[in-house]
Amino acid sequence: MTGSMLILPHIIIGVSGIALVAFLVASIFLSPSSMVARLVYAAAFLLTFAQVALGFRILSAPDDMLTMAHQGLAIVILVLLGLGGMLSARGRRKMMAQAKPA
């Protein structure tokens, strides 16, 4: 009973995570940024869909190894988002420094 009560909030968190990553990817591709930051965000976006597919696989046939992979993939996505944010902030800082008159 407890596990089934956790499914809906988990799905809501997952859908909001997809929306957040999609927003970040769209914003990074619409603004001038480095190719590395774009690749990092694109990888996070693709891994997010892999995370969703893995989550639905766990729903259909629960398995401890799949659950551990699901958790590990979540950590990788979070690290990629942090790395992408750091790279885009560093690139933005360089652009602002170059734009300042000497």
The answer for 62, left when phi > 0, alpha when psi is -120 to 50, beta otherwise, is beta
pTM for this structure? 0.81
| Percentage, residues of the chain above pLDDT 70 | 95
Residues 71, 100: Cα–Cα separation, whole Å: 44
Residue 44, classified by CB atoms within 10 Å of its CB into exposed (0-12), middle (13-18) or buried (19+), is buried
pLDDT, tens only, 40-64: 999 999 999 999 899 889 888 888 9
pLDDT band for position 2 (cuts 50, 70, 90)? low
- Is the pLDDT confidence value at 38 over 60? yes
What integer is the mean pLDDT of 69-91? Answer: 92
Tell me the residue length of the chain.
102
Write down the pLDDT at residue 1: 47
Q: What is the share, in percent, of the chain residues with pLDDT greater than 90?
A: 33
Kindly report the average pLDDT of the chain as a whole number.
86
Segment 66-84 shows an average pLDDT of 93
Q: For the residues of 1-37, what is the DSSP string, one character each?
A: -HHHHHHHHHHHHHHHHHHHHHHHHHHHHHS---HHH
Residue 57 near residue 41, CB atoms below 8 Å:
no
